[in-house]
């Protein structure tokens, strides 16, 4: 790893962008190290369509939980005493603010809309922030009688995204914390699905620790956090070999009429996991940010994976990523690591989540450029303004939720289930065998007088 002067400079106070107001109460305060530039506002909508599997095929399909936990045949009718649906929500960071207050959920069974009670929870029972500062919508409903598993779940939320400029020179002067990390950052060290293990349990053959030792000479703290983070990202961008797609495409014929979905209907996210990816040195494009986040955490840096959706994909006339998934189209992912400045006089500004767009960096050979120069994608980004964040987990974190991602064939001819962001619980039983499609839609809302918050001086 490169050396760096031990001289510590005071953090640079960046000019406030008066025209940009936070969209919600959970908005991140100004950071001394990240300046927001051009912004865009979006409405992100996700639609999940669930369909019954013929009884003859039900035994060959598995939910992401144990398929033996339910005896309900999805082609039969059943009663629901109570149901709860979970959908992830991101928070706020340098490149985005998600207005959690705007989150909505709509549920239909057999074509009929079901009354729901929707709330957003972002703290645990002890009052602490949820893992990595994320949140979930919780839509409760019931009782409902005589329904099938055929249903439509629709989620919507508003967000604002930004271009970012990272003051790397100032950030390099921030040392490792001498005390504890803030609660939101510290929670990122807790076990996370696909960073520490899969649906079968913890990874047994992970080489994440070995990778970090090799890349940092066995001492990640020998350099400031930003230097360590940049070095690891650059090396992984050069050596990891992603292939395939980020998603498991909808297997049905690729037309909106047949699939019942809009642009880009998918079954699930295609993921191997950080452990297996570290062992093989390759995986899906989604495995690269997963591996980077796992390496950051192994090095002692809190890190989270941000799952997002490219707003550009909503303007395409074809279902492009049924066949291919390019970095600029459809579902996407990047990493944010925590930079904690204990000497910051304003405690609200001490924690900064620094974005690392590792997929962009690899696609553009950014990691091969001089280390002492700024890298596009490392903190500074012109691309993330067009990526709407969804959440920080591929499967509902620490929630007893069943989901129905697709599955993929692995080398030993065993089919492995894949995650699909959302989850639900039904009482008395949740169907184990249901097929799904998941589709996203992104629009640019007009600002009206009824909006709860508008930019200063902006006319409707």
DSSP conformation letters of 174-199: ----SSPPPHHHHGGGS--BTTTEET
Query: CA-CA distance, 368 to 376, in Å (whole number)?
Result: 12
Write out pLDDT tens, residues 361-378: 999 999 889 999 999 999
Determine the Cα angle at 301 with ends 296 and 306, to 5°: 65
List the single range of 8-17, 345-354, 439-448 with lowest mean pLDDT.
8-17
CB 424 within 8 A of CB 401: yes
> Which residues make Cβ contacts (< 8 Å) with residue 10, sequence separation at least 6?
none
Residue 393 CB partners (closer than 8 Å, separation 6+): 88, 131, 132, 134, 192, 193, 305, 307, 421
Residue-level pLDDT at 20: 29
Residue 267, pLDDT above cutoff 90: no
Angle between helices 225-239 and 287-298 (to 10 degrees): 140
Residue 22 has what pLDDT? 37
Q: In this structure, what token pair is assigned to residue 311?
A: 């707003």
Cα separation, 222 vs 44, whole angstroms: 42
Q: Can the peptide bond before residue 39 be classed as cis, meaning omega within 30 degrees of 0? A: no
Mean pLDDT for the stretch of residues 219-237: 97
307 and 149 Cβ atoms separated by less than 8 Å: no
Evaluate if residue 169 carries a pLDDT over 90.
yes
Three-state DSSP class for residue 355: strand
Confidence of residue 182 (pLDDT cuts 50, 70, 90): very high
Q: What is the pLDDT of residues 56-86, one digit of tens each?
A: 444 444 444 444 444 555 557 889 999 999 9
The DSSP symbol for 257 reads: H
pLDDT, mean over the chain: 81
Taken as a whole, the chain contains a residue count of: 460
Alpha helices by DSSP H, listed for 21-97, are 55-58
Q: How far is CA 390 from the centre of its chain?
A: 6
Give the chain's radius of gyration (CA, Å). Answer: 22
- d(CA 311, CA 282) in angstroms, rounded, equals 27
The pLDDT assigned to 393 comes to 96
Give kind and range of the element (H or E) at residue 227. Answer: helix 225-239
In what helix (H) or strand (E) does residue 87 lie, and over which residues does it extend?
Answer: strand 82-89
């Amino acid at each position: 790893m490169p050396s760096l002067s031990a001289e510590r400079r005071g953090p640079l106070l960046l000019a406030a962008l008066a025209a940009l107001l936070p969209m919600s109460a959970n908005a991140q305060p100004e950071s001394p190290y990240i300046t927001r530039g051009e912004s865009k506002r979006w409405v992100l909508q996700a639609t999940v369509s669930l369909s019954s599997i013929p009884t003859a095929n039900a035994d060959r399909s598995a939910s992401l939980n144990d398929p033996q936990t339910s005896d309900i045949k999805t082609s039969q009718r059943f009663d629901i005493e109570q149901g709860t649906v979970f959908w992830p929500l991101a928070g706020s960071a340098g490149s985005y603010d998600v207005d959690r207050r705007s989150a909505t959920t709509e549920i239909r069974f057999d074509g009929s809309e079901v009354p729901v009670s929707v709330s957003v929870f972002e703290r645990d029972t002890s009052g602490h922030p949820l893992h990595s500062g994320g949140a979930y919508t919780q839509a409760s409903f019931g009782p409902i009688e005589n329904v099938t598993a055929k249903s439509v779940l629709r989620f919507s939320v508003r967000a604002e995204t930004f271009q970012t400029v990272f003051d790397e020179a100032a950030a390099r002067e921030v040392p490792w914390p001498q005390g504890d990390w803030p609660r939101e950052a510290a929670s990122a060290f807790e076990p996370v699905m696909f960073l520490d293990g899969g649906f079968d349990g913890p990874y047994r053959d992970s080489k994440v620790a070995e990778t970090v030792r090799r890349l940092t000479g066995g001492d990640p703290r020998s350099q400031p956090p930003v230097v360590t983070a940049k070095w690891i990202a650059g090396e992984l961008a050069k050596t990891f070999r992603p292939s395939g797609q980020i998603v498991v495409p909808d297997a049905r014929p690729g037309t909106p009429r047949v699939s019942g979905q809009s642009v880009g209907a998918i079954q699930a996210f295609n993921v191997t996991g950080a452990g297996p990816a570290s062992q093989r040195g390759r995986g899906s494009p989604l495995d690269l940010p997963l591996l980077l986040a796992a390496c950051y955490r192994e090095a002692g840096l809190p890190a989270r994976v941000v799952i997002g959706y490219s707003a550009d994909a909503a303007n395409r006339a074809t279902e492009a990523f049924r066949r291919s998934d390019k970095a600029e189209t459809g579902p996407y992912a990047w990493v944010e690591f925590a930079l904690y400045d204990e000497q910051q006089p304003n405690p609200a500004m001490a924690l900064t989540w620094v974005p690392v767009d590792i997929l962009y960096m690899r696609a553009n050979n950014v990691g091969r450029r001089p280390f002492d120069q700024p890298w596009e994608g490392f903190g500074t980004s012109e691309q993330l303004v067009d990526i709407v964040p969804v959440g920080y987990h591929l499967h509902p974190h620490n929630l007893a939720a069943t989901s129905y991602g697709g599955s993929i064939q692995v080398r030993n001819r065993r089919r492995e289930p894949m995650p699909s962001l959302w989850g639900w619980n039904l009482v008395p039983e949740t169907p184990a065998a249901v097929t799904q499609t998941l589709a996203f839609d992104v629009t640019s809302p007009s600002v009206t007088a009824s909006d709860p918050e508008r930019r200063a001086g902006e006319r409707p």
